[in-house]
Amino acid sequence: MPETDLPLDELRRYLPDRQEPADFDAFWSATLAEARGHDRPAEFTPYDARLSEVRVYDVRFPGFGGDPVAGWLLVPAAARTPRPCVVGYLGYGGGRGFPYEWLTWPAAGYVHLLMDTRGQGGSLQPGATGDPHGSAGSSSPGMVTRGIQQPADYYYRRVFTDAVRAVDAARSHPAVDSERIAVAGGSQGGGIALAAAALADGVRAAVVDQPSLCHYRRALAVVEGNAYREIWTYLRTHRDQVEQVFDTLSYFDGVNFAARATAPALFAVGLMDEICPPSTVFAAYNHYAGRKDIRVWPYNRHEGGGQHQVVHHLDFMRAVLGEAG
| Residue 92 known to bind ligand | yes
Tell me how far apart the alpha carbons of residues 121 and 96 are, in angstroms, rounded to a whole number. 7
For residue 228, which of 179, 285, 280, 151 has the smallest C-alpha distance? 280
Query: Is the sign of the CA dihedral 189, 191, 192, 193 positive or negative?
Result: positive
Catalytic, 29? Answer: no
Residue of 131, 162, 209, 273 marked catalytic: 273
Find the radius of gyration of the CA atoms of the chain.
19
At residue 307, φ and ψ (nearest 5 deg) are -70, -20
Catalytic, 315? Answer: no
Ordered alpha helix ranges (H), the chain? 8-13, 24-36, 104-107, 155-172, 188-199, 216-222, 226-237, 242-250, 254-258, 278-287, 308-321
Catalytic, 273? Answer: yes
Question: What is the bridge-based pairing of β-strands 68-76 and 111-115?
Answer: antiparallel
Residue of 173, 287, 302, 313 marked catalytic: 302
Which region, left, alpha or beta, applies to residue 134 given φ > 0 means left and ψ of -120 to 50 means alpha?
left
Residue of 139, 140, 187, 212 marked catalytic: 187
45 forms beta bridges with: 58
**What is the amino acid identity at position 71?**
G
Question: Binding site membership: which residues?
Answer: 92
Residues forming the active site: 187, 273, 302
Q: Which residues are annotated as a binding site for substrate?
A: 92
